[in-house]
Amino acid sequence: MRNTPFTRSQSAASCPAHADAKRDAGSGTALPGGKSAHAAGIAQWDPRSDAVQANQIAAYDRMRRQCPIAASQYGYTSVFLHSDALHVVLDHKTFSSAVSRFPSVPNGMDPPEHTAFRALIEPYFDAPHMAAFAPRCHAIARQLVDQLPAAGSVEVISAFAQIYALQAQCAWLGWPDTLHEPLRQWTLKNYRATLSRDQQAQAAVAREFDHYITELLAARRAAGAAAPDDVTTHLMHNESISRPLTEDEIVSILRNWTVGELGTIAASVGILMEYLATHADIQRLLRDTPEHLPAAIDEILRIHAPLILNRRITTRNVELGGHVLPPGTRIAVLWASANRDEAVFGDPDEFRLDRDPGLNLLYGAGVHVCPGAPLARLELLAIMQALLGGTEWLELDPQQAPQRAFYPGSGFSSLHMRIQKQ
């Protein structure tokens, strides 16, 4: 696959420099630990400003070229460079993952506690599990592509990408079809609560999702030996950490698997469809040589990240980006910037099938590298194979401009397309 490189370079659209990248003296925001960003000489920016939201990827490119790190009024210091992102995620002793207000197994844990739980969940994503799920995953993808209209315009985020993410994830977990619509509505509420930054609203949405899970677990316990033989039931009886998991631990694992997967898979499908619709040569290449799809999917999602960031918190004084950060500094590792770093990738918009896959941080790195990457790759390959195999062409609806998702979301909140069917 990688012996036949294909490259395509697209110049980034020019935009004025973000006015909030650096603020005047005296306007610095206090960082955790009592040290002000201004006193530390750290640049300031607002990741939620209109200028950034207009095109997050372009804004991160501008910030990366101006400064390696920048602090915001929301309490996080953003990391833009590939080398600094690796520094953070590979040093879990200095940059802790215990940042959430809610239990997070194992994402919000550090070794050695993280190690045992990571060993517990990794087998669910191994090759035999993926091979067993693949036929069902491909069938879901083909069915949804078959249902796409052959004429007119369709809004593919809500009517296709989100539905696929829900159906595929529920099928993998063994959850009933009756949960598809409630979980779709929950996803929208969760997105609105995140945008509002209302902690009470976020907590209420989190409790609602946990309620869905606890009901599923209760039904399986009531069924006893008649409970479905699926991932969820198996997790309930897993004792690989030398004891049964607690209810809170099971709920946290299932929440992480579901919430994270639904958002990123739906965003990824939208990003991939928009990219092919706006890059006719690459769409034709992948239709003619679908064996390039795995590498192409990773490369397109390097160019336009479906996941904006992950969070860490410093445990001690550490130098990063030319500044000494005190303990308690909250860090936002911007994958959407690091994966476009010119020092590593050259022109960040150049599409290449021969890149070193080890440089792509699409699924993170270090001890917290995404354990669900095999499932995500399977789901994305299945939907793209179904799309390219079941349609003649994908194009944007010229009457309906794509609407970009807002931070901390990525991709598109609305994407109208015309699907030419066979």
Q: Tell me: the pLDDT tens digits for 305-349?
A: 999 999 999 999 999 999 999 999 999 999 999 999 999 999 999
The structural domain count of the chain equals 1
**In terms of pLDDT, which residue wins out, 155 or 205?**
155
CB-based contact 33:326 (threshold 8 Å):
yes
Residue 301 domain boundaries? 7-421
Q: What is the pLDDT of residue 399?
A: 96
378 falls within a domain: yes
CB-based contact 393:385 (threshold 8 Å):
no
pLDDT-derived band of residue 7, with 50, 70 and 90 as boundaries?
A: low
65 falls within a domain: yes
Using the structure block, give the residue that is written with the tokens 């993808």. 141
1 falls within a domain: no
Number of Cβ within 10 Å of residue 317's Cβ equals: 12
Average pLDDT, integer, range 7-18: 36
pLDDT at 15 > cutoff 60:
no
pLDDT at 262 > cutoff 80:
yes
Q: What is the pLDDT of residue 186?
A: 85
**In terms of pLDDT, which residue wins out, 150 or 128?**
128
pLDDT at 394 > cutoff 90:
yes
pLDDT-derived band of residue 10, with 50, 70 and 90 as boundaries?
A: very low
CB-based contact 88:312 (threshold 8 Å):
yes
Average pLDDT, integer, range 5-17: 38
Average pLDDT, integer, range 40-61: 92
CA distances from 383 to 126, 146, 283, 420 (A): 20, 12, 14, 16
Average pLDDT, integer, range 66-78: 95
Average model confidence (pLDDT) for the chain?
A: 89
Q: What is the pLDDT of residue 264?
A: 94
pLDDT at 68 > cutoff 50:
yes
- In this structure, what CATH number is given to the domain that contains residue 108? 1.10.630.10
Can you tell me the distance from the alpha carbon of 130 to that of 19, in angstroms, rounded to the nearest whole number? 47
85 falls within a domain: yes
pLDDT-derived band of residue 32, with 50, 70 and 90 as boundaries?
A: very low
Average pLDDT, integer, range 6-33: 34
pLDDT at 30 > cutoff 90:
no
252 falls within a domain: yes
